[in-house]
Amino acid sequence: MSNMIFARLDARDRELFRRWSAAESASRRSRVIWTALTHLGGAWCTIAFVLLPLLFANGSWGSAARHALATLFISHLIVQLIKRTVGRPRPSTSALSCALVAEPDRFSFPSGHAAAAMSIALAYGMAFPALAPAIIPVAVLVGMSRVVLGVHYPGDVFIGQLIAALTAAAIVMG
């Protein structure tokens, strides 16, 4: 029964991927925009979004940065543990797609970029609710960029963002 459920989820995930991923023939402008968005979930950007406020701010910004750092760190550990345990190959290993950006590793599930971007956005969004409507949609787009660029399935992104949300809730509210 559970194998049938997982097979149906996988088929749906692959179908959504086929619809959302950009072809190699995507315009240069489209590739540049989606690539810029995807880098916001990469290590350099997410670490900078945490460390700069930690180094140069105190008070509520410093507290939010500490929550962001904890959320980023813990969600990253969870993502890496699941990636290594599940071992789902990236879409580029199948006939579905060719990745339009470099892949950080060979595992697809869950998306680390999506988790990282959402971890930062939620930690700061919970600390500063007025910022949430601006930064959370950017984190969602970072996740979407991973599908458009052919490096993750939609389910990988969803679970990465869910891990970030649960981790942020546990840290900020806990």
Given a contact cutoff of 8 angstroms between Cβ atoms, the answer to whether 119 and 75 are in contact is yes
Q: For 101, phi and psi rounded to 5 degrees?
A: -140, 165
List, for residues 123-159, the tens digit of each pLDDT value: 999 999 999 999 999 999 999 999 999 999 999 999 9
List, for residues 5-17, the tens digit of each pLDDT value: 888 988 899 899 9
pTM of the prediction?
A: 0.92
Say what the pLDDT of residue 172 is: 80
List, for residues 22-72, the tens digit of each pLDDT value: 876 778 898 999 999 999 999 999 999 999 998 888 899 999 999 999 999
Please tell me the distance from the alpha carbon of residue 23 to that of residue 10, in angstroms, as a whole number. Answer: 21
How far apart, in Å, are the Cα atoms of 159 and each of 50, 61, 108, 115, 173?
22, 28, 11, 8, 21
List, for residues 78-111, the tens digit of each pLDDT value: 999 999 999 899 998 776 667 778 788 889 999 9
Cβ atoms within 10 A of the Cβ of 146, count? 30
Choose the CATH number for 27-173 among 3.30.365.10, 1.10.10.10, 1.20.144.10, 3.30.2350.10: 1.20.144.10
Say what the pLDDT of residue 121 is: 97
Query: If residue 86 lies in a helix (H) or strand (E), which one and from where to where?
Result: helix 59-86
Percent pLDDT > 90 in the chain is 67
Please tell me the distance from the alpha carbon of residue 123 to that of residue 70, in angstroms, as a whole number. Answer: 9
